[in-house]
């Protein structure tokens, strides 16, 4: 069984063969730090976070780089609006990004370079392009000469002629052809600038990713990833710059995450329907959001709505419920029996197999989730069974959820004693209700249950005694 990945470059699923296994080099285009990230950004970061973890799970050693774009037109404009410097703006939103990513359980990349800290390598790359006749100076700017790069359009599968048909030249631009793009922008009054062989100025957007990817991962990398809207022109231009400079293939596999739409519309500032991660997390659990994201294939467009997220929450809670119940059953379980556990033992093995099979098929997280649910049913049957619980089987089952949760991060896996934390007053209320139930004083029992519910505690009476859980938010 081999891992297969859909490659935007070739338009097909290909067997994954990194350059130097087990090492894998992976570059993900990071945020432009001019504002809080929105849920569409979050989808990209979550998806590639999971993919990265899965590659590690499959035995690869992934080195992942994700940049911060901390200098570009948007940064300059926003800093001016806020009345602060561009570096101050960058600091603010890099910090915000880190907070948001952490809350979403997106693990930090191994290297998180900033464009402004790599002006040297950027200039070096532009000079290489100049030497190869792929760049030209025009005014104070330097442009990439797309006409001189034969493979231009290979990623977006468009010929230059086709691309030109829709291209526009902004007034005042000094490029020769519409598809040419700026590698270096000459200084304008009031803008941040660095010294360069072409005078003071700043890097273009595309060149920073090429320069930083090469700097940390080498001239040819295994995986380059980002949102679908980066295919053109950003990634197309990265290929042109990188391959143009080195004469080598830049990235072997290009991965692109689909859009996250809101109410079937693309998020955009003009429509006013942009939802930031911060806004989302005011109302929803990050784990519910991760579950929601992973319930669809990463390349498919995915529609976001409050209702769909509630649906996802219900599904996730089913798994959470099971995980909690497995933990709770652990203390009373026995090491000397596996009675009634044959089906469960087989189901664990089957679930693991199915999980890997799905993930190996271009990271089919939806299929992988189905494996978690199928095992959940068997585990519930086992837990409800009329036999003692086997410590070994419970642990194996929990181990599987632990193993898969280390990839998906959709469950809160707690130790049994963590489940018992409840303050004294609430414990006594539960005890009083138990007493009332023994007396068959249902009125009192129900009243206490209502009171607890009002305080966010849900009670469940099981054959093995009363159980409590916290009511989910919203």
Residues 262-321 that bind RNA (CB under 7 A): 264-268, 295-297, 300-303, 307-308, 311, 314-315, 318, 321
CA 432 to chain centre: 46
Q: Cα–Cα distances in Å, from 458 out to 206, 428, 429, 466?
A: 53, 15, 12, 10
> Given candidates 134, 260, 394, 452, which one binds RNA under the rule CB under 7 A?
260
Cβ at position 153, least distance to RNA in Å: 9
Give the nearest distance from C-beta 472 to RNA in angstroms: 11
Residues 214-253 that bind RNA (CB under 7 A): 226-234
Encoding tokens for residue 34? 């001019």
What number of residues does the chain have? 474
**Binders of RNA in range 408-447 (CB under 7 A):** 437, 442, 445-446
Among 24, 71, 358, 393, which residue interacts with RNA (rule: CB under 7 A)?
Answer: 358
- x-or-dash string of contact with RNA, 47-76, rule CB under 7 A: --------------------------xx--
What is the strand order of the sheet 221-227 is part of? Answer: 61-66, 23-28, 221-227, 251-257
Of 290, 353, 374, 355, the C-alpha closest to 107 is 290
**Contact present, 364 and 297 (Cβ < 8 Å):** yes
CB of 44 to RNA, least distance (A): 5
Count of residues that interact with RNA, criterion CB under 7 A: 84
In the complex, least distance from residue 101 CB atom to RNA, rounded to whole angstroms: 13
**Residue span 444-463 as binding mask against RNA, x where in contact by CB under 7 A, dash where not:** -xx--x--------xxxxxx
| Of 59 and 463, CB closest to RNA | 463
Minimum CB distance to RNA, residue 16 (Å):
16
Q: Are 42 and 257 in contact (CB under 8 A)?
A: no
Provide the mask over 128-167, with x wherever binding to RNA is found by CB under 7 A and - wherever it is not.
----------------------------xxx---xx-xxx
Nearer CB in complex with RNA: 141/362: 362
Q: Which is nearer to RNA, 127 or 308 (CB)?
A: 308
Answer for which of 99, 117, 373, 428 binds RNA (CB under 7 A) is: 373
Task: State the Cα–Cα distance between residues 158 and 60, nearest whole angstrom.
Answer: 34
Among 334, 380, 413, 468, binds RNA (CB under 7 A): 380
Q: Which of residues 33, 44, 46, 329 is near RNA by CB under 7 A?
A: 44
Decide whether 254 or 259 has the Cβ nearer to RNA. 259
| CA 395 – CA 324 distance, rounded (Å) | 13
Interface region with RNA, contact rule CB under 7 A, candidates 56-64, 101-109, 343-351, 362-370: 362-370
| Helix, strand, coil tally for the chain in percent (to 5) | 50, 15, 35
DSSP state of 139: T
> How many C-alpha atoms does 352 have within 13 Å on its Cβ side?
15
Q: Where are the beta strands (DSSP E) in 18-120?
A: 23-28, 61-66
CA–CA dist 390, 383 (Å, integer): 10
């Amino acid at each position: 069984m081999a891992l297969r990945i859909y490659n935007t470059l070739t338009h097909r699923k290909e067997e994954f063969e990194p350059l130097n296994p087990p090492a894998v080099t992976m570059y993900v285009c990071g945020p432009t730090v001019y504002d809080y990230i929105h849920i569409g950004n979050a989808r990209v970061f979550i998806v590639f976070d999971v993919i990265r973890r899965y590659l590690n799970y499959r035995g690869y050693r992934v080195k992942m780089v994700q940049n911060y774009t901390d200098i570009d037109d948007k940064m300059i404009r926003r800093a001016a609006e806020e009345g602060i410097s561009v570096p101050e703006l960058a600091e603010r939103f890099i910090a915000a990004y880190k907070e948001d990513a952490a809350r979403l359980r997106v693990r930090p990349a191994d290297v998180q370079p900033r464009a402004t800290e790599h002006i040297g390598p950027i200039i070096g790359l532009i000079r290489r392009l100049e030497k190869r006749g792929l760049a030209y100076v025009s005014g104070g700017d330097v442009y990439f000469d797309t006409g001189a790069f034969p493979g231009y359009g290979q990623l977006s599968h468009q010929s230059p002629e086709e691309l030109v048909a829709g291209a526009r030249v902004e007034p005042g631009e000094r490029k020769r052809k519409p598809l040419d793009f700026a590698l270096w922008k000459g200084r304008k009054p009031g803008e941040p600038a660095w010294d360069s062989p072409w005078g003071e100025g700043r890097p273009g957007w595309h060149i920073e990713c090429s320069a930083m990817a090469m700097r940390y991962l080498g001239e040819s990398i295994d995986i380059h990833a980002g949102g679908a809207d980066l295919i053109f022109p950003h990634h197309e231009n990265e290929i042109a710059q990188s391959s143009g400079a080195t004469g080598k293939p830049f990235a072997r596999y290009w991965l692109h995450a689909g859009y996250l739409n809101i109410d079937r519309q693309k998020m955009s500032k003009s429509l006013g329907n942009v939802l930031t991660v911060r806004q989302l997390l005011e109302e929803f659990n990050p784990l519910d959001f991760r579950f929601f994201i992973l319930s669809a294939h990463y390349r498919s467009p995915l529609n976001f709505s409050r209702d769909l997220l509630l649906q996802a929450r219900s599904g996730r809670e089913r798994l959470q419920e099971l995980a909690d119940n497995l933990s709770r059953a652990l203390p009373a379980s026995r090491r000397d029996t596996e009675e009634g556990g044959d089906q469960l033992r087989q189901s664990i093995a089957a679930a693991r197999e199915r999980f890997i099979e799905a993930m190996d098929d271009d990271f089919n997280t939806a299929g992988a989730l189905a494996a978690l649910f199928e095992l959940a049913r068997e585990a519930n049957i086992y837990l409800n069974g009329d036999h003692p619980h086997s410590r070994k089987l419970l642990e194996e089952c929990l181990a599987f959820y632990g193993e898969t949760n280390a990839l998906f991060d959709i469950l809160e896996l707690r130790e049994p004693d963590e489940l018992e934390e409840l303050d004294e007053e609430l414990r006594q209320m539960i005890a009083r209700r138990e007493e009332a139930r023994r007396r068959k004083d249902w009125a009192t029992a129900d009243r206490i249950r209502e009171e607890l519910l009002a305080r966010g505690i849900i009670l469940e009476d099981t054959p093995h005694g009363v159980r409590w859980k916290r009511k989910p938010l919203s």
